[in-house]
Amino acid sequence: MLSKREVFDGVPEEYLSHKERYENAIRNSVVAFSLVRKMQEEGKTSINNYRDVVGGLLGSSVLRDGSPLGLHYIMFMPAILNQANEEQQEKWLPRAWNCSIIGSYAQTELGHGTFIRGLETTATYDAATKQFVLHSPTLTAYKWWPGGLGQTANYCIVVAQLYTKGQCHGIHSFIIQVRDEETHMPLPGIKIGEIGAKLGLNAVNNGFLGFDNYRIPRTNMLMKHAQVLEDGTYVKSRHSKLNYGAMVFVRVVIVFDMVNYLSKAVTIATRFSAVRRQCQLKAGETECQILDYVTQQHKLFVSIAAAHAFRITANKLWLTFNEVNEQLVEGNLQRLPELHALACCLKAVTTADTAACVERCRLACGGHGYMMSSSLPLTYGLVTAACTYEGENTVLLLQTARFLVKTYQQLDSKALTPTVAYLKTAAAERFCVGWSNTTEGIIRGFQVVAMRVIIMSTFNEEVQEMSRTVSPQLKEVLHQLVDLYCTYWALEKLSDLLLYTPISQKEVESLRLRYEETLTNLRPNAVGLVDAFDLRDEMLQSTLGSYDGRVYERLMEEAMKSPLNAEPMLQSTLGSYDGRVYERLMEEAMKSPLNAEPVNYTFHKYLKPFMQGKL
Ligand SMILES: CC/C=C\C/C=C\C/C=C\C/C=C\CCCCC(=O)SCCNC(=O)CCNC(=O)[C@H](O)C(C)(C)COP(=O)(O)OP(=O)(O)OC[C@H]1O[C@@H](n2cnc3c(N)ncnc32)[C@H](O)[C@@H]1OP(=O)(O)O
Ligand SMILES: Cc1cc2nc3c(=O)[nH]c(=O)nc-3n(C[C@H](O)[C@H](O)[C@H](O)COP(=O)(O)OP(=O)(O)OC[C@H]3O[C@@H](n4cnc5c(N)ncnc54)[C@H](O)[C@@H]3O)c2cc1C
């Protein structure tokens, strides 16, 4: 059995080289995911409900900057579950589930990420040999970004343009072996490596992948929805977008991820704000806690409310996802567009808001928030990536807008699906006959705004659920959070409300007062509210947010761990670009020390024994 997490001579991750960071990540990941395998063996997690277990690990302090094995669970396995037929699932799922193969998900290319109908990788069917020929016709056709593909995965799901009998049938998914299972060497016809250092997630080992007329069996096309028969006949799917299912799943999971990161950041910043004393409210008094400043409360408290709002929303979205997928199994595709629009909208909104809130938490901690040891910069790097991956936010909001416009156009001719039923009511109250400075009044106002601009989504507060299951005291605080969240956004989006609702100047002024009252009302419970997230110090990994409040002692302890305090300069910088983007990106990637060797030693020492169940 492996010893617990090894670090280089006690040097924290921040001081490791790019290569050492990867080697450390492999060591930590095989230990962490050996635990998942143990839970599988004991029946404590299953192939249909491992989200919480894996999600908890991927957000934990052990894998704090991601894992080379993350995509295996996040997309490789869900893609097989979602797009492989029964025979293919029987062949591949057991090996993926016990990690005797490690997979990734290769869709994005150097030249295309958003416009997936424009992907260039081709899969051409050869009926004579009953094989598909995978090929990357240009440099921009190289797969670029797949997590774990650089040095770790030996299989991946590849999304390519399918050609058979001379005709292109659009993008489809294929399961492809890219490395030898014994030697881990890239297979002939495969060009593979890692793409280099990034803003964050530097333990994920994102890779590139090029094909040179690489042949795979016909049965390696995932054929749950569409098929290619032995003679090359193409059988199309019931719905052209069923192949996009893996992306919908991850967008839903990302909303849960944002809850975890936002809770962590606001816990750190709120606890630090209770410890930090700076300046005086009145001359001659002792310095006050910075948490007592209304400006500090304005920065932080809405993040506490947002963490709860996102958690409630994530749970509701997960229920919708499972409902719609059960209907898909029965052949009922009616709610697929709504699920797609909802997943797009909530992934975009929660990632953008979380990135903004985490940055605000950092700013609220002054210079100490800028220290890596606070864990706030690392958290920001993780959440800001989510605004881009799994669908760039702008593009996903446009998808939601497209769905809402279509829904509005069919308002009188088609029954509305549950999450847009409010449009009927908002349409009836075309100009929102009255305004009230209550939670319900604000929600109704936004429904009217949404109705009028058809691009705002609204959220359903689960207030009724809270009144059934919580004590009067807790209900009062949760209502304060609901009030805070609504009045905050009413004030943030005041221009829309002024444009589309009859809110008066007087009501805006009282809304402002109400907002400040709510901040004051929440102040006594602020630390208790973040303590309620129940995030252990090991999870927070933060000098500022530890439960015992020993901020300064911890800052100094961490500072003394820097090798710079023990020896002279270590650092070097990279060159800049001359405008030849794709060639330069590839040249930079090839500078990675990880690409200097075909197989990193951690494969033979850790990964292979892990995959063979010998750990
Ligand atoms: C189990 C794990 C547990 C815990 C994990 C813990 C943490 C996990 C958290 C984070 C994850 C970590 C790492 C993430 C790794 C990220 C991996 C990636 O990034 S993979 C690559 C992702 N790439 C994308 O998302 C590409 C974005 N682009 C698109 O999706 C599409 O191009 C588009 C923008 C949707 C447009 O598609 P297209 O051009 O084909 O379609 P149209 O716009 O013309 O619309 C036509 C029609 O189709 C409908 N539609 C589009 N997409 C879907 C869909 N997915 N489902 C259903 N329907 C869809 C659209 O609504 C239109 O319908 P119509 O209006 O015609 O009725
Ligand atoms: C950390 C990380 C991990 C990733 N992991 C994976 C992975 O494992 N597998 C994988 O396949 N991919 C992965 N990706 C790739 C990711 O899915 C793409 O980066 C994403 O889909 C965006 O595509 P792009 O980068 O090509 O940007 P582009 O599509 O080129 O978009 C660039 C910008 O152009 C604008 N834009 C583009 N299209 C439109 C439009 N229609 N309307 C308006 N504006 C538009 C937007 O401002 C957008 O930000 C990862 C990315 C990151 C950052």
CA of 60 to the centre of ligand 1 (A): 27
Question: Among 390, 394, 414, which residue has the most ligand 1 atoms within 8 Å of its CB, making it the best to mutate?
Answer: 390
Q: Which residue CA neighbors atom 41 of ligand 2 most closely? A: 395
Least confident of 92-106, 181-195, 429-443, 456-470: 456-470
391 Cα nearest atom in ligand 1: 25
78 Cα nearest atom in ligand 1: 1
Quote the pLDDT of residue 6.
Answer: 45
CB 51 near ligand 1, within 6 Å: yes
CB 549 near ligand 1, within 6 Å: no
CB 147 near ligand 1, within 6 Å: yes
Strands (E) located in 114-267:
122-126, 131-135, 143-144, 155-164, 167-177, 190-194, 207-211, 214-217, 227-228, 234-235
Tell me how crowded residue 162 is: count the other CB atoms within 10 A of its CB: 22
CA distance 615 to 603: 13
Q: What confidence category does residue 570 fall into, taking pLDDT thresholds of 50, 70 and 90?
A: very low
- What would the DSSP string read from start to end of 530-571? HHTT---HHHH--SSS-TT--HHHHHHHHHTT-GGGTSS---
Q: Tokens 């669908």 identify what position?
A: 391
279 and 291 in contact (C-beta within 8 Å)? no
114 Cα nearest atom in ligand 2: 29
Digit-coded pLDDT (tens) for 378-402: 999 999 999 999 999 999 999 998 8
Residue 573 above 50 pLDDT? Answer: no
CA of 241 to the centre of ligand 1 (A): 9
Residue 304 above 80 pLDDT? Answer: yes
- Return the closest-CA partner of residue 174 out of 140, 136, 224, 137: 224
DSSP 8-state class, residue 134: E
Architecture of domain 1-237+568-615: Beta Barrel (2.40)
Quote the pLDDT of residue 552.
Answer: 67
- Return the closest-CA partner of residue 459 out of 446, 448, 472, 475: 446
CB 107 near ligand 2, within 6 Å: yes
CB 369 near ligand 2, within 6 Å: no
Tell me what the mean pLDDT of segment 62-89 comes to.
Answer: 94
566 and 298 in contact (C-beta within 8 Å)? no
Residue 59 above 80 pLDDT? Answer: no
Q: Which residue CA neighbors atom 48 of ligand 2 most closely? A: 392
CA of 390 to the centre of ligand 1 (A): 7
391 and 397 in contact (C-beta within 8 Å)? no
Quote the pLDDT of residue 126.
Answer: 98
Q: Which residue CA neighbors atom 9 of ligand 2 most closely? A: 146
Choosing among 3.40.50.970, 3.40.50.11540, 1.20.140.10, 3.40.50.10210, the CATH entry for 245-531 is: 1.20.140.10
Highest mean pLDDT pick, 174-188, 505-519, 549-563: 174-188
Q: Which residue CA neighbors atom 67 of ligand 1 most closely? A: 337
477 and 522 in contact (C-beta within 8 Å)? yes
CA of 374 to the centre of ligand 1 (A): 34
| Residues tagged active-site | 390
Residue 225 above 70 pLDDT? Answer: yes
Residue 464 above 50 pLDDT? Answer: no
- Angular region, 579: left φ>0, alpha ψ -120 to 50, beta rest: left
pTM of the predicted model over 0.90: no
CA separation (Å) from 506 to 13, 319, 347, 435, 503? Answer: 54, 41, 36, 11, 8
Q: Which residue CA neighbors atom 8 of ligand 2 most closely? A: 146
CB 148 near ligand 1, within 6 Å: no
CA of 506 to the centre of ligand 1 (A): 44
Question: Among 102, 388, 397, 581, which residue has the most ligand 2 atoms within 8 Å of its CB, making it the best to mutate?
Answer: 388
Quote the pLDDT of residue 288.
Answer: 95
Q: Tokens 């052949």 identify what position?
A: 331
Least confident of 12-26, 335-349, 562-576: 562-576
330 and 238 in contact (C-beta within 8 Å)? no
Quote the pLDDT of residue 580.
Answer: 62
CB 225 near ligand 1, within 6 Å: no
Q: What confidence category does residue 353 fall into, taking pLDDT thresholds of 50, 70 and 90?
A: very high
> Which ligand is located closest to the Cα atom of residue 399?
1
Q: What confidence category does residue 433 fall into, taking pLDDT thresholds of 50, 70 and 90?
A: low
Q: Which helix (H) or strand (E) holds 106?
A: strand 103-106
Cα first-last separation, the chain: 5
Tell me what the mean pLDDT of segment 270-299 comes to.
Answer: 95
CB 447 near ligand 2, within 6 Å: no
List the domain boundaries for the chain. 1-237+568-615, 245-531
CA separation (Å) from 226 to 158, 175, 238? Answer: 15, 14, 8
Q: What confidence category does residue 54 fall into, taking pLDDT thresholds of 50, 70 and 90?
A: confident
Q: Which residue CA neighbors atom 63 of ligand 1 most closely? A: 337
Residue 7 above 80 pLDDT? Answer: no
